[in-house]
Structure 1
């Protein structure tokens, strides 16, 4: 992988990329497993409840990490060398202001506008300092927003600076509050539909996610014409390097699935099938996607259409059960919430039967053992009772019954030390 500009292709050594973000590491640190990550990425992973190494999925005996100073020196040397070949990296602030003025005044001269947008994108991608310079220039964000319908490069620039202080709020104001017109977001939808490379699609998704900062803006984004079908098509249609694109799309869907109508639309478009395949994927690389999928399943299970799709999918319940204790604590809670809601609250016998057949009782007991007092432990307690008793279509079944229901006549387990209630 690399970056190309003016015919020069700069290759980024894989050793310098964080296994989580895939960006060049700014502060490499090594876990006890020996794998090195960028500090901000691994801190976020550990702070969300994980106790495993993302690359190897080994349980960490300690969450401590140490700076990898040797690798940091190599990265710094490579940065110095490659920066000397990137003419935009050391541009003066005055030069940057000239570029922005040229972009603003380019009018119909699209090639000229694209050229200066490329300069700005290259400059923004070089350092945090450069990005702070850009967002500090009056009218910068407004100028780039005005060009998102003309060039994917404008989308890239906004994605690069969206993490800087105040930018998300400006984007929210410019794209939602001031316009009040969902057509203002259509260039981003077009990028998702028409861009040839996945990085442009990811950048458009991240901008949409960044402006979804409250329920009103989330509904605004969700109701943008054709956006939800386009997002689903990105999940269901094969493409190069899908994991990062899928992760970005799932994060946005979690954000905008705030109303029943949106959740029903997601179900109708086939999202449950994708989520089922994701939670059933046992590879280590699928863990982050599986966690986002469990969150979405917990949201979709709040509507009858979502519950019907989950119950009717041949692999979804088994995948949820399999993921218990193999994901972060929040994701485990999402998995328990789905099973509890469907088995205990809505008494879905089909789901309960599938859970039992996939050793759900043992796994729920293990989750309950690991939990302190709280809602998750209470849900696990009720879930164990429900799974052990068995359900008929509309009530409990006695031993030896058949038909719509099922029965756990005897339950033999080696986890006798676990007292469910």
Structure 2
């Protein structure tokens, strides 16, 4: 009887059925059958695929292996004849059946995985998008764009396949093609193309060429000025992509009617942190790279950019804080910008508070702005800004900064600031820098 029982258990193990062991507490422990485990991770396979060598792995693990530059089978070390793993439906079905049989032990059935998209399928969809663009078939193009977008969002593996097969360039070309006609007539397809494009960022040079065409950029500005939140968000992300490396595009954008006003509005009425940071970055590029930046800065100052930035800085996250200070630093290169900053009650408390508080970059920008404002008043009879800086603890903060250490340029500006402030210390008793905001109504 005992021999017969042992033979049955051995036969069950050979068939890949449940193996059970009792632990020290007498509880039954499950052992995943060997054939169901990935040779790389030794975990239960969720999406078993077989290589050209005949060995089965979990798709996620073997794709990571191949993407790392390995072209051999991990188990046999044989060179792979094909890098496309084939789904092993038989093993997957056996794993699912095993999960169902042992659900009483807490085993959950693995879902049937979606078959990843292939390069051939992606190329076919992109070719059809190109044909739809040539025929100005907005409805047909819209359906195809929705399909490619859905595939890209389905998994990281699909996204890599879509991007590597030139989807960014094809979609940018389609955006350009439909933007040449009436925006109102093609708004649905243009909106969907732009939404899909944001998944493909960063774009290559050719794709940026299409998206940066005059008609496409005008469409982006039109979207940026619309009331729809998703359009505005995607539009500013598209503009950020264009101005990241191309100064010519920055100049073209600066000259487009309504562009600066729309970017300003996106900061004033924020949608999300991502869009706010993108808008600040585009504005920073405009005021630091544009050949006619003085005119742009004046327009922004007249819109109220200085007070808006200072209010934003009172309680913002690191990324927004750094970019807002960068824009304010650029604005303060102009006489109008410095004057507006000097006249704002938030300037000194906010700038001094940011030193050594958020990041090295915010410290550098804050010191730079303080230096510009105090240098301005050094040559004038009115030293109210310098006295205010002393009152909120700038002298002690700058001394601490020099002790802690900073980049050479910031160190030089901090040293010069200390000399300027020191000339007026006898006129104003410094207070604790931690009390910078005690008289402000807004929380920090």
Normalising by structure 1, we get a TM-score of 0.65
Q: Which has the higher Rg, Structure 1 or Structure 2?
A: 2
- Going from structure 1 to structure 2, the CA distance change for 1:243 and 1:350 (only over 3 Å counts) comes to farther
In structure 2, C-alpha distance between the alignment counterparts of 1:242 and 1:306, rounded to whole Å: 27
Displacement after TM superposition at 1:411 (Å): 5.0
> In the alignment, is residue 222 of structure 1 matched against residue 254 of structure 2?
yes
- Going from structure 1 to structure 2, the CA distance change for 1:140 and 1:381 (only over 3 Å counts) comes to closer
Task: Provide the aligned length of Structure 1 versus Structure 2.
Answer: 306
Match of 2:296 among 256, 262, 275: 262
In structure 2, C-alpha distance between the alignment counterparts of 1:184 and 1:147, rounded to whole Å: 7
**Divergent runs of 4+, >4 A:** 410-414
Q: For residue 374 of structure 2, what is the aligned residue in structure 1?
A: 343
- Going from structure 1 to structure 2, the CA distance change for 1:140 and 1:311 (only over 3 Å counts) comes to closer
Higher alpha-carbon deviation: 357-366 or 90-99: 90-99
The superposition leaves residues 6-50 of structure 1 with CA deviations (integer Å, 9 ceiling, x where unpaired) of xxxxxxxxxxxxxxxxxxxx9xxxxxxxxxxxxxxxxxxxxxxxx
Q: For residue 150 of structure 2, what is the aligned residue in structure 1?
A: 122
Q: For residue 245 of structure 1, what is the aligned residue in structure 2?
A: 275
Q: For residue 398 of structure 2, what is the aligned residue in structure 1?
A: 364
**Superposition RMSD in Å:** 3.0
In structure 2, C-alpha distance between the alignment counterparts of 1:339 and 1:168, rounded to whole Å: 39
Whether the aligned pair in 2 keeps the contact of 1:188 and 1:204 (CA below 8 Å) is yes
Whether the aligned pair in 1 keeps the contact of 2:266 and 2:276 (CA below 8 Å) is yes
Q: For residue 99 of structure 2, what is the aligned residue in structure 1?
A: none
- Report which of the two has the higher share of helix: 2
Q: For residue 272 of structure 1, what is the aligned residue in structure 2?
A: 306
Displacement after TM superposition at 1:252 (Å): 1.7
In structure 2, C-alpha distance between the alignment counterparts of 1:373 and 1:140, rounded to whole Å: 39
- Structure 1's unaligned 5+ residue stretches are 1-25, 27-77, 392-398, 400-406, 415-421
Whether the aligned pair in 2 keeps the contact of 1:320 and 1:335 (CA below 8 Å) is yes
Superposed, 1:103-182 pairs within 5 Å as 103-106=129-132, 107-137=135-165, 141-147=169-175, 149=179, 150=186, 151-163=190-202, 167-176=203-212, 179=213, 181=214
Whether the aligned pair in 2 keeps the contact of 1:209 and 1:251 (CA below 8 Å) is yes
Partner SS for 1:320: helix
- Going from structure 1 to structure 2, the CA distance change for 1:136 and 1:375 (only over 3 Å counts) comes to closer
In structure 1, C-alpha distance between the alignment counterparts of 2:406 and 2:331, rounded to whole Å: 27
- Going from structure 1 to structure 2, the CA distance change for 1:225 and 1:131 (only over 3 Å counts) comes to farther
Q: For residue 94 of structure 1, what is the aligned residue in structure 2?
A: 120
Partner SS for 1:194: coil
In structure 2, C-alpha distance between the alignment counterparts of 1:365 and 1:383, rounded to whole Å: 10
Normalising by structure 2, we get a TM-score of 0.62
- Going from structure 1 to structure 2, the CA distance change for 1:310 and 1:102 (only over 3 Å counts) comes to same
In structure 1, C-alpha distance between the alignment counterparts of 2:159 and 2:217, rounded to whole Å: 24
